[in-house]
A and B are shown apart, each in its own frame.
Chain A
Amino acid sequence: MSNKQLKFQPVIGLEIHVELKTKAKMFCRCSADHFHTPPNTNICPVCLGLPGAMPYPNLKALEKTLLIAHLLHCRINRISRFERKHYFYPDLPKGYQLTQYLYPMGYQGYLEVEGKRFFIRRVHQEEDTAKLKHQRLKSRLVSLVDFNRSGVPLVEMVTEPVFDNSQDVVAFLKKLQRLLRFYEVSSCDMEKGSMRLEANISLRPEGSKELPDYKVELKNINSFRFLAEAIDYEIKRQTQLLSQGKEVTQETRGYNSVKKFTFSQRVKEEAQDYHYLLEPDIPPVYLSDEVVEKVRKTPDYSQLIGKWIKLGWPKTVVNNLLIRQGQLEWWQELETTVQEEGLDRHKLGHFLLKNKGSYYLKDISKLIARFKEDEKIINNVDQLVKVVKEVVANNPKAVADYQKGKESAIYFLLGQVRYRLGKVNVQTTLQQLRDVLTDEKSKK
């Protein structure tokens, strides 16, 4: 049977790395802040891997990783052990990375996204590498190493190969990002590299339950959209190859986001042997009952969010504005005011969304005052109609343009109304303008 008759089903698994939001690095007390810090300023013998230096685990980081494992409904390893993963690279000063191989902090978990459960294989703690910078220095091509990032706590999450399309992948990642940001375990900022994505993708005949005998690794992609594009591209590319009866090379591929194609970066001939060794410099860390209990009591994200939606706050507002657990107190205070003054949550919510980030948002009384003022202006239809009429009367040229079919002229008039009133509801004003202009036309 020729492959042409076969339909293929994508098999996709994800590997996600996030940097934890901790003050100190994973195994020393250097600041973990490395974005835009002058090179090699947050460094010490430990994160430089100097002779004689030893790691000392950061318990705060372990607690955050435990929280991630909990949020992803993982089974928990109460004993944390570290392993040395050996490979040579200039950004790895010890010649090995400390990671959890045999005993991941969490395993066999899942994340539910829009009613679908996506299974998680493991969640484990590790450390980031230094950063290499390849540049020209005095007309020579050089590679510079910045160790500020060396030893920053990193968490790796690996899903089972449970995705079969790019939309699910993106929905999953967005939910994960929202969760980790909400509980302030990571900033999950892809531009800053605090969230990094890798996808393994291969195809199998539709209906088959077996995993394909190859996989293509998509790496170094720093946006959800580009990852989705790369996955879609790969599905097409691999389908084409397999349909022609060809084999797909097992390799690592990158994505050219400008020209929209994936390209080979490295062909893995065989699995690399990392010579894992239990880190003898760190005795097993036992997570205390106290710590585990504290994490178990973490309020559930969907319940927390659901509460506000049930109260009548618009979903988009809650999803976009209630983004950190730390904001809950503020929201509680706002809700109290809303109840006391009988304010409209829908309108107030959209007002908040529109003014996202404004300084007065923090002060609830100022915020409410401003909201009411806005409402007053917007709701004062009589005044609006009066002004609109005046503007139409005073701008005959624009009116004439509009009547001749130059639609954009109406925005000039809108600007004039705005100039007079300071603040208007754009949709209402445009509607009023159209009404008045239609009246004008019919008058003629």
Chain B
Amino acid sequence: MKLTELRQLTGSFDNWQKAINNKELDLVEVAESLENLLQLVQDKYQAFITIRERSEILKELRENVEKRRPLLGWPFTMKDIFITKGIRTTASAKLLEDYIPPYSSTVYKRLQKAGGTLMAKTNCDAWGFGASTENSDFYPSRNPYDPTRVPGGSSGGAAVAVATGVSSFDISEDTGGSIRQPAALSGVTGFKPTYGSISRYGAIAFSSSLDTVGIIGRRIEDIIRVFSLIKGPDKLDATVYPQQKLTQLMLPSKLRNLTIGYLPEIMKEGVDKEILQAINEVKDFYKQELGVIFKEVKLPHFKYGVATYYVLAPSEASSNLSRYDGNRYGCDRTAFTDEAIRRIIIGTFSLASGYYDAYYLQALKVRRLIYEDFLRAFNLVDVLLLPTTPTSAFKIGEKSGDPLQLYLQDIFTIPASLAGVPGISFLVRLSSRGLPLGLQLVGPHFKEDLLTSLIAFWQEKKKTHLVYPQIEDE
């Protein structure tokens, strides 16, 4: 099977289901192709930390098909921060290089039950600390539209796996933009639901009050399908919201009277022209097709997002990483690399007595203001349209010498994380240089149905979920 044929199957669950039901697929051949193509993507883009054995993939494929589990074996990948029993889990950190966990994360268990076939664990910035995968302790992943550029991060390998079409979807995590930003830079759909939708049990913690399990995929219908299989209460994660409704797509007729807010103020500086153009294109599209009303809104504390985030997230990270004290996991603390050390120091400092009030507590207060900004905005508009990133994918090495430049990558994604509201990044089109341009829709808590319905309508008309990078030697 060639990559183009595999893309038919990974790109749409309907196609996969049809092929399985009509017994068009030789699973032995599928497993072999998957292994070869995973290896191809690995060689070119270094998307994975661990690729599973072909025999294991085949065994699970067969079982999932035979037992008629809901996903019928649809092959997927997971960011390497999710604990998978018996399968090495590293968080792309040297410190956990040889860690084979004795248990499984809730989300992995639910996917096993739902009949997804895990093929590989995807590369990311170590511990999720970064926006390019250049902070992976193993190797950076590469953008499939231009291998000299980054795929985004921290879930860069995940975005690559889905963008190349080798993986149907990737279970990822977004703390300040780690799903949405790589999805935008790699041309796929990045779905960060409301904080507390999906159990975090077994997701190696970065910043617990921000970490949100989500999905990188293509077709929004498929993302909703996976979402509904993994979300909901878990007796092992007290932060999961207990009463969640089913997320369902709304009919276009129901979208007609919506109001979408946009934020010209935040886009005055540093935003690429083509991204501003993309905003206008999307606005025009929804106006023309659905008669949606666009309204200018202000989020006065939006601009403090990055500063707030880089106090809160490192504070929690310094605490979450304190379990790697050198007594367990076979590595001492010298195995931590620069970005982790930087965040541990920042976090430890801001939690120190005497500095706590000035930094950590102050940041908590600003977080509250940002949250209130969103609530106020959602009194005026139904959802917000904003850039996912200020620019399209940048060159590997371009920002790695300057952490602050890299932190600014998340300027548009961080506020939604701080407020805990859902955000989805979707592909608008490719830029003049052939690089993906993504935008995000952000909605009120637990209003994923609004966001997904709008994006589903876009995909239906524009077919952007079918855009793939050209991969040589195909």
Contact = CB atoms under 8 A, between A and B. Distances in A.
B282 to A, nearest CB: 34
Interface string A353-368: 0000000000000000
B151 to A, nearest CB: 24
A281 B205 CA distance: 10
A53 B315 contact: no
A52 interface: yes
B105 interface: yes
Contacts of B236: 46, 54, 56
Contact of B105 (A44, A49, A52, A57): A52
Given A52-B203, A52-B204, A280-B316, A95 B235 contact: no
B238 A273 contact: no
Contacts of B207: 280
B91 interface: yes
Interface stretch (B178-186, B289-297, B322-330, B461-469): B322-330
A50 B99 CA distance: 11
A51 interface: yes
A54 B238 contact: yes
B208 A281 contact: yes
Contact of A283 (B239, B321, B325): B239
Interface in B310-349: 315-316, 318-319, 321-323, 325, 327-328, 348
Contact of B352 (A49, A52, A273, A282): A273
Contacts of B89: 51
B31 interface: no
Contacts of B328: 93
B238 A281 contact: yes
Interface in A87-126: 88, 90, 93-96
Given A50-B103, A280-B209, A90 B319 contact: no
Interface string A245-279: 00000000000000000000000000001011100
Contact of A273 (B82, B200, B318, B353): B353
Nearest to B321: A95
Nearest to B207: A280
A54 B327 contact: no
B118 to A, nearest CB: 16
B238 A57 contact: yes
* Residue with the highest number of chain B CB atoms closer than 10 Å, among A275, A276, A282: A275
* Residue with the highest number of chain A CB atoms closer than 10 Å, among B83, B96, B208, B322: B322
Contacts, number: 93
Main secondary structure of the interface of A (DSSP, over half): loop
Given A50-B103, A86-B322, A93-B328, A276 B239 contact: no
Main secondary structure of the interface of B (DSSP, over half): loop
Contacts of B321: 95
A425 B205 CA distance: 71
B467 to A, nearest CB: 34
A314 interface: no
Given A51-B99, A54-B200, A56-B238, A93 B323 contact: yes
Given A51-B204, A56-B237, A56-B238, A95 B322 contact: yes
Contacts of A219: none
Contacts of A49: 323
B83 A55 contact: no
A268 to B, nearest CB: 15
B319 A96 contact: yes
Interface string B207-235: 11100000000000000000000000001
B343 to A, nearest CB: 14
B202 interface: yes
A54 B209 CA distance: 12
Given A51-B96, A51-B99, A277 B316 contact: yes
Interface of A: 44-46, 49-57, 84, 86, 88, 90, 93-96, 273, 275-277, 280-283
26 contacts: A44-B103, A50-B102, A50-B103, A51-B83, A51-B89, A51-B101, A51-B204, A51-B323, A52-B101, A52-B202, A52-B204, A54-B237, A56-B236, A56-B237, A84-B319, A88-B322, A93-B323, A95-B325, A273-B352, A273-B353, A275-B348, A276-B351, A277-B319, A277-B351, A281-B205, A281-B239
Interface of B: 81-83, 89, 91, 96, 99, 101-103, 105, 200-205, 207-209, 235-239, 315-316, 318-319, 321-323, 325, 327-328, 348, 351-353, 356, 360
Given A50-B83, A54-B200, A282-B239, 8 more contacts: A45-B103, A52-B101, A56-B236, A93-B328, A94-B323, A95-B319, A275-B319, A275-B348
The 5 closest A-B pairs by CB, nearest first: A95-B322, A280-B209, A280-B208, A275-B351, A52-B202
